[in-house]
Amino acid sequence: MLYKVFGINAELIIDHAWGWEPTTVPIIKTYRPTTKSISSGQVLKEPYEFDKGRLIVHEMMELLSLDLVRKGFITKKVTLTIGYDRESLIGERGLKYKGAVVKDYFGRSIPKHAHGTENLDHYTSSTKQLCTAILRLYDRIVDTNLLIRRVNVVAEEVILEHDKPEEQPMQLDFFSDVEKQEKEYEQAKKAEEREHRLQKATLAIQERYGKNAIVKGMNFLEGGTTIERNGQIGGHRAGD
């Protein structure tokens, strides 16, 4: 009767009725989801022009890359979503805009958000490589004429560092300079290893002295939010 009513879930109900839990703690601890992502998003206090929005995306990906290192993850795909402000449809901006218009949560008209994905050629947590990828994506999908209000960056399909698949051998042809390519590959590999050590050192210093113990020059530029966000806990100012 139970199988007829509940289908395959009947087995789970019967097990629980008899106090039997088939999923043990060791099974739970060894479980790995097939897909996983790590994201970061923020709603800006005011509408941002294209250049300031680009700074925000750069800052957010830098922080996200450090988060990957902290958790021992790597990725080879990043996704960016940009939400535009409703003021983008007012005045001269509105006259220039010819794209799709949608409604926000309050029923107001806004330009349709920009969304895209950029793939890397290998798994990494390199700040340099991930920022290059996300900024290339930003330049490709974001309308330079519109005002930005929401930003969301995502590291897609992340895996643990020790689960990194073996790299495919280089594809060569008769015209390839094998020695040069091998040298460039080794140099790039060593540079990434140096950067990884620097990232870990940065995390160690921030853990001991606070996240603002190490910041970059761009974080002091007008429109930057990293320093303020570093002083927040759960989205609120520390001490509030």
Chain segment 106-141, per-residue pLDDT in tens: 999 999 999 999 999 999 999 999 999 999 999 999
CA distance 44 to 87: 14
Q: What is the CA radius of gyration of the chain?
A: 23
Which residues, in sequence order, are bridge partners of residue 94? none
More confident residue, 169 or 191: 191
User: What is the Cα 148 distance to its own chain's centre?
Assistant: 18
Share of the chain above pLDDT 90, in %: 68
34-89 pLDDT per residue, tens: 559 999 999 999 999 999 999 999 999 999 999 999 999 999 999 999 999 999 99
CB atoms within 10 A of CB 72: 13
pLDDT at site 27: 52
Over residues 171-180, mean pLDDT: 70
CB atoms within 10 A of CB 145: 16
139-167 pLDDT per residue, tens: 999 999 999 999 999 999 999 999 988 77
Q: Domains of the chain, with CATH numbers?
A: 38-166 (3.30.1490.100)
pLDDT at site 29: 52
pLDDT at site 197: 96
Over residues 16-24, mean pLDDT: 62
Query: Is this structure's pTM higher than 0.95?
Result: no
226-237 pLDDT per residue, tens: 999 988 754 444
CB atoms within 10 A of CB 64: 22
pLDDT at site 167: 73
Range in 14-28, 75-89, 117-131, 187-201 with the lowest mean pLDDT? 14-28
Question: Which burial class, exposed, middle or buried, applies to 86 when counting CB atoms under 10 A from its CB (0-12, 13-18, 19+)?
Answer: middle
3-state secondary structure the chain: CHHHHHCCHHHHHHHHHCCCCCCCHHHHHHCCCCCCCEEEEEEEEEEECHHHHHHHHHHHHHHHHHHHHHHCEEEEEEEEEEEECHHHHCHHHHHHCCCCEEECCCCCEEECCEEEEEEEEEEECCHHHHHHHHHHHHHHHCCCCCCEEEEEEEEECCEEHHHCCCCCCCCCCCCCCHHHHHHHHHHHHHHHHHHHHHHHHHHHHHHHHCHHHCCCHHHHCCCCCHHHHHCEECCEECCC
